[in-house]
Structure 1
């Protein structure tokens, strides 16, 4: 891949899978509020309608944009983030992993609204797809 060429969607998802595997390996067996479930979440998202969007993580949230993030080489300045995300942590019962689906944008006003908390990554992904569809986010051609 050329240094200044924009990332393809497939490359962005491949990179996200690699980063998630690495992040999980880092926290596996550690005393951390971040459980080793990033890869599980990314794989579930990639197998869904979310695969049409560019993924990125921030603060243990899986988020999506309509083009490669501004920090990737050759990107356009008008990147739009989708108004929904999935967070993951050990906030479930007895410290088990929990996925939380949020409506809204992280760290922006108005504050995001919690839509669902579940221990199941695929269920969280399905809920986010439904949320985005309900908010009029169109599928990409």
Structure 2
């Protein structure tokens, strides 16, 4: 097998699910500000129009690019990142999980804009899909 061959989209999503499952297991019961909801979010995103993008996590955000993410074999530095992401945390001391939907690119100017905060992963994914132009999430393109 060629080590520099690009990772397929299906393999990238499978890997993201496994990574999310492992991350959830690592924080479950620890009282971390990062709640064990990464797998829930990844599964919701994979079941949506976001599934045509390569997923990756960065800075506690689920983000998407149009080719293998920078850490995967076959990645290219000139990929296009989806102009939106979903972060997740506990929302403060003693609070439950909160998914935050951001419009714009993380760590770039102008700063991303908070579009929605919700405890529901499916609602957060739907909101992100709704923020994007149709051609970005259209499965036929």
TM-score, with normalisation over the residues of structure 1? 0.92
Alignment of 1:8-27 (within 5 A): 8-27=8-27
What whole-Å deviation, never above 9, does each CA across 1:20-52 have from its counterpart, x for those lacking one?
000000000002100000000000000000000
Tell me the SS of whatever aligns to 1:115.
strand
> Structure 1's 108 and 101: CA in aligned 2 closer, same or farther, altered over 3 A?
same
Task: Tell me how far apart the structure 1 counterparts of residues 28 and 133 of structure 2 sit (CA, whole Å).
Answer: 34
Tell me the SS of whatever aligns to 1:85.
strand
User: Where do 5+ consecutive residues of structure 1 fail to align?
Assistant: none
User: Where do 5+ consecutive residues of structure 2 fail to align?
Assistant: none
What whole-Å deviation, never above 9, does each CA across 1:46-66 have from its counterpart, x for those lacking one?
000000000000111000001
Q: Does 1:139 align with 2:138?
A: yes
Task: Tell me how far apart the structure 2 counterparts of residues 110 and 75 of structure 1 sit (CA, whole Å).
Answer: 26
Task: Tell me how far apart the structure 2 counterparts of residues 108 and 98 of structure 1 sit (CA, whole Å).
Answer: 23
Alignment of 1:19-98 (within 5 A): 19-91=19-91, 94-98=94-98
RMSD: 1.7
